[in-house]
Amino acid sequence: MTTPLSPAELYRHGLRLLVGKDVPGWVELWDEEGVLEFPFAPEGWPARLEGKSAVGAYMRHYPDHVDLHDFPEVTIHQTTAPETIVVEMRGVGRLVETGAPFDMTYIAVVTVKDGLFTSYRDYWNPLAVSQPGADFVGTN
C-alpha cells in the first residue's frame, strides 16, 4: 500500500494534470462525496458542486474554453489542521474562443482526506472574466 499524497503534493499534482489538459485525471483526485464551492460565483454560475460526478461534469469542457499554459505563481500555506491548505496562485493561458490572454489569480481553501480532495473552496475573481457570465468553465 502506498502512502497518500500530502495535501500540498496532491494539489501540485492536480495543477500539473490541468496544465496537461488531463481533466479526467484531475477528477480522479476527488473523493466521491467531495464538494467544490465558488463563493464569489456570479449569478447564473454554480456556487456549489456536490460529489465527484458533479465536479467532473462541470470541469469536462474546461480545456475547450481555457487553454492553460502554466501556474507561474503557487504558494501553499499549511494550516493548523494538517489536512487543510490555503493556496494563493496565478494561472495563465488563453481563452480558446477569442484567443484573448487568460491571467487569473486565485485563493483556494482545500481539504484532503486519504489522498483525495474532499472540500475545495475556489475564491476566483469573476470580475476578471472578460465577458461576465461567459461559459468558459463548462457551467452547463
List pLDDT tens digits, range 31-46.
999 999 999 998 888 9
pLDDT value, residue 1: 64
pLDDT at res. 8: 97
The reported pLDDT for the residue numbered 97 is: 92
- Tell me the CA distances in angstroms from 74 to 51, 54, 70, 90, 101, one per residue in order: 26, 26, 10, 7, 19
pLDDT value at position 128?
67
For residue 129, what pLDDT is reported? 61
Domains of the chain: 7-125 (3.10.450.50)
Residue type for 97, please? E
pLDDT of residue 2: 78
Mark the ranges of the chain whose per-residue pLDDT is less than 70.
1, 128-140
What phi and psi, each to the nearest 5 degrees, are found at residue 70?
A: -170, 160
